[in-house]
Structure 1
Amino acid sequence: MSQFIHIPTLLRSGELELIENLISRANFVDGKLTASMAAKEVKNNLQLDAGETTILEQIRSLIHQALQQSPLFQIAALPGEIFPPLISKYGPGRYYGWHVDSPVMGNPAIRTDLAMTIFLSDPSTYEGGELVLQTGGGVFNFKPAKGDAVLYPCQFLHCVNEVTSGERVAAVTWIQSNVKSPEQRQILFQLNQVHAMLHQRAPQAPETQLLLQTHSNLFRMWADL
């Protein structure tokens, strides 16, 4: 995969309505409660209370189903384990300063190869609140449509700009990939894209079959299971 992947319409309108209804009935607490020591100093948001187990389970089930059904997520992330999503809320004056995510999370622990932000608010309803990634290729800002997601490697410094008006709600999760190396994931992602184009033109052509074989053999060679 490239440095980041924008996934349009990961969540559709019906799913977003269900999630909005669940969130409207939930209690939120200080986001610092789940931050690592370094992140506590720069984290200034609210997070859906972990005690709201029924609501969280329903939201997580909807998101998990959407991830399972997203071809783009599956070929880009090659997911092995997915951390249960957290729901964050940013009102005016809230932000999340520059930080790097913890390399290992959860119990049982997973390695955080990739992070994903799923945007749950219409961008026209709030000012600020951009997800900002600092990569080797420059600094990139994201404020996509409601229901869209951004997937990115965890080694990048990133932040959420201060919200100046309105409210930004998002789901955040982390993924342990079946292929640990970002470079190898990118090669597999690119091969998959080329195969899809060849398959559309000539699904039974020898070159189409050979590329699929090459992709499968590389995945087998690099899989970290």
Structure 2
Amino acid sequence: MLLPIPAILQPDEVASLRRLIDAAPWEDGNATSGHQARLVKQNLQLPEESDAAREGGQIVLAALSANPLFIAAALPSRIYPPMFNSYAGGQTYGLHIDNAVRIRPGTDWRVRCDLSMTIFLEDPNAYDGGELMIETNFGRQSIKLGPGDGVLYPSSSLHMVQAVTRGRRVASFFWIQSMIRDDAARTTLFELDQSIQTLAMQVGQGDPAIVRLTAVYHNLLRQWAEA
């Protein structure tokens, strides 16, 4: 499932976050890359253990926890602390796939990467290029969203960032371990949840059919979830 999620961060939150991270020192994005990534990755990255990255990550996590669409789609169990990257001057990240497991540096804390997420932090009219290209069963999808908007997609997807030829592309990126490992099952639960919400607005939350459908949702969640 590939899902754009609008307005995860409000304009004032984006502005605060940008003031915080823009004032911090950045490093070569390959500082934490493996061999394969080094072959195709050209960008800058905020050191993930820096004060700015930690504080900025908390802003992102607070916004995610208050976003019902993200919760319904991701059914998160663990979220890797949000990171931040920057592309400018022709920088790009060629076609690649995210690691299956991410381990926080210096710890044994790890996340199985079921879902990847990018939250855009720059006006799309302020830079050329920088589209997030994601390979799907329906072909390659090109994504370039407004500041504060995000996209959620399976970490198993091949994807890339197009070269930024004008301006600067800034984004937050991170990975989610879902309670539902299987993407098809997770998609089924999301579609069921969204249908229940739509019907509840039409017939009322207490309608017997809504109650039965809600029971089906939770029983499937109970059967499939890894709590």
TM-score over 0.5 for the alignment? yes
Question: Partner of 1:9 in structure 2?
Answer: 7
Q: Are positions 1:34 and 2:32 aligned together? A: yes
Q: Which runs of 5+ in 2 are unaligned?
A: none
Question: Partner of 2:224 in structure 1?
Answer: 222
Q: Distance in 2 between matches of 1:194 and 1:56?
A: 37
Question: Partner of 2:60 in structure 1?
Answer: 63
Q: Kindly state the Cα deviation for residue 66 of structure 1 after the two structures are TM-superposed.
A: 0.4
TM-score by length of structure 1 reads 0.96
Tell me if the contact between 1:26 and 1:49 (Cα under 8 Å) persists in the aligned partners: no
TM-score by length of structure 2 reads 0.96
Q: Kindly state the Cα deviation for residue 51 of structure 1 after the two structures are TM-superposed.
A: 4.9
Question: Partner of 2:44 in structure 1?
Answer: 46
Q: For structure 1, which segment, 77-86 or 16-25, has the greater mean C-alpha deviation from structure 2 after superposition?
A: 16-25
Deviations 1:123-157 (A, max 9, x none): 00000000000111110000011110000001110
> Given residue 191 of structure 2, which amino acid in structure 1 is its aligned partner?
Q
Deviations 1:146-183 (A, max 9, x none): 11000000111000000001000000000000000001
Q: Distance in 1 between matches of 2:29 and 2:193?
A: 38
Q: Distance in 2 between matches of 1:88 and 1:130?
A: 14
Secondary structure class of the residue paired with 1:43: coil
Which one of 197, 200, 206 corresponds to residue 208 of structure 2?
Answer: 206
Structure 1 vs Structure 2: percent identity of aligned residues? 39
Q: Which runs of 4+ in 1 moved over 6 A?
A: none
Q: Distance in 2 between matches of 1:60 and 1:51?
A: 10
Distance change >3 Å, CA 51–CA 208, structure 1 → 2 = closer
Alignment of 1:1-225 (within 5 A): 3-52=1-50, 54-106=51-103, 107-202=108-203, 203-225=205-227
The count of residues paired between Structure 1 and Structure 2 equals 222
- What RMSD in Å do the two structures reach over aligned CA positions? 0.9
Secondary structure class of the residue paired with 2:142: strand
Secondary structure class of the residue paired with 2:86: strand
Q: Distance in 1 between matches of 2:48 and 2:186?
A: 33
> Given residue 3 of structure 2, which amino acid in structure 1 is its aligned partner?
I
Q: Distance in 1 between matches of 2:115 and 2:34?
A: 17
